[in-house]
A and B are shown apart, each in its own frame.
Chain A
Amino acid sequence: DGGITQSPKYLFRKEGQNVTLSCEQNLNHDAMYWYRQDPGQGLRLIYYSQIVNDFQKGDIAEGYSVSREKKESFPLTVTSAQKNPTAFYLCASSIAPGRSYEQYFGPGTRLTVT
């Protein structure tokens, strides 16, 4: 089913707690991305990584952190500094910059912070 997995599907946390969302791909893709989706909104880019051990901030990186220690994994941590963390989080990957443009999405994690 696309080779990108995200876990868990639903996540509940108390305000003030950090939480890490998992994203794994077995497509041998170089580039990986994190997007946030709010109701009635498009997807907004949080962070992206074109290669292992390197990542860049997207449009709404404040309050989030990432790591890319392995090609197949790109976890996202939502920190307590994120003002409105409740959202649907989508991870995506693409083969490599310049080789293919298509981004493949994971099934998403719906995070609720109360």
Chain B
Amino acid sequence: DAMVIQNPRYQVTQFGKPVTLSCSQTLNHNVMYWYQQKSSQAPKLLFHYYDKDFNNEADTPDNFQSRRPNTSFCFLDIRSPGLGDAAMYLCAIGRKLDTEAFFGQGTRLTVV
């Protein structure tokens, strides 16, 4: 059974139209991550939570925000998507920051 569930798997949005991606987990792990991955590139860390503590990467655009209302759920909000935001968005969980992370299947975002 999947430990990390991302919805939707595919999302098409219009340029500038806000979009929300969701992630849920079944293991109650403390750490949740959001990564952006473009074609043939390394996953790039956008944010992570350790429990309720939120850590924003310095180079994450202001256009990207995140919410974690409880242990199980995490959301990625893109306020005004641009064409350059088209990518695979990956959610991952971990027990601690220095243990292995388990990834969901990702959401493929297309901006038209």
A binds B: no
A residues contacting B by CB (< 8 A) are: none
B residues contacting A by CB (< 8 A) are: none
